[in-house]
Structure 1
């Protein structure tokens, strides 16, 4: 699974990340109960700032696609 960011795309980076993760969830590549990539992994993979990655994860939480347990990580919701 690779999440990429296009800096020439006018879409905000957090939305690019959230959109790609949402697509992975909806396609079944990330299944219910499966752990999401960590913030650190996404920061390293995309080159985005940690706050940007956090914003992307919040977007997915707000859509009801993932749940986050502080200091534990995030999982795809059942």
Structure 2
């Protein structure tokens, strides 16, 4: 499924909540809500915004880190990675 930047987490769909959140955050990055090398919203605020537990938010962030959309600085936060070419919104993990 494709998720838009203003999407909400749906409990009755096949995609897990962390996958849905990753899709929403990916769409927000593509839309330009967060610029490269700038911090995204904190884990706790994302959890509050979407009604998700912190481990679920962390799993979504880890997925986007693995795909190259984000990077984490221990003790500082999570930041948008510089990308030379934006991947399609349905990037399903071929970014190794």
- Fold agreement, TM-score > 0.5: yes
Over the residues paired in the alignment, what is the CA RMSD in angstroms?
Answer: 1.5
The answer to whether the aligner puts 1:59 opposite 2:43 as a matched pair is no
Q: Give the CA deviation at 1:27.
A: 2.2
1:76 aligned partner: 80
Q: 1:19-58 alignment to 2 at 5 Å?
A: 19-58=23-62
Q: Give the CA deviation at 1:22.
A: 0.5
Higher RCO structure, 1 or 2 (CA under 8 Å, sep 6+):
1
The structure whose Rg is larger is 2
The answer to whether the aligner puts 1:8 opposite 2:12 as a matched pair is yes
Distance (whole Å) between structure 2 residues aligned to residue 51 and residue 10 of structure 1: 19
Q: Secondary structure at the match of 1:33?
A: coil
Contiguous gaps of at least 5 residues in structure 1: none
| Higher share of residues assigned helix | 1
Q: Give the CA deviation at 1:63.
A: 0.5
| TM-score of the superposed pair, with normalisation by structure 2 | 0.74
Contiguous gaps of at least 5 residues in structure 2: 83-96
**Aligned residue-pair number:** 78
Distance (whole Å) between structure 1 residues aligned to residue 51 and residue 73 of structure 2: 24
